[in-house]
A = this chain, B = another copy of it.
Amino acid sequence: MEDERLYSMVGTRIKTIREQKGLSQQDLSLICNIEKTNLSRIEAGRTNLTIKNLYKISKALKIRMKEIIDVDEEDEKDFY
């Protein structure tokens, strides 16, 4: 899939789970030590985040990284 779509899907996963936990972006940013503006960019899918921050976010949300990153699409057998 396109890069931007990948970022958006990951960002949306984070936003959805964060809201399920009743946390604001600022709450989450304080817990995991990521700038709130950066968190906003990540959730908006405007950033190619690193596994380091993916890990920090997953720990702050008390979930596994794979629960955030489980956004692969089915119809990609011939992507490469």
Contacts and interface: CB of A to CB of B under 8 A. Distances in A.
Interface of A: 1, 3, 6-7, 10, 31-32, 48-52, 54-55, 58-60, 64-66, 69-72, 76, 79-80
Contacts of A51: 6-7, 10, 48-51, 54, 69
7 contacts: A1-B55, A32-B80, A48-B50, A48-B52, A59-B76, A64-B72, A69-B69
B72 A69 contact: no
> Chain A contact residues: over half helix, strand or loop, or mixed?
helix
Nearest to A49: B51
A29 to B, nearest CB: 12
A65 B71 CA distance: 8
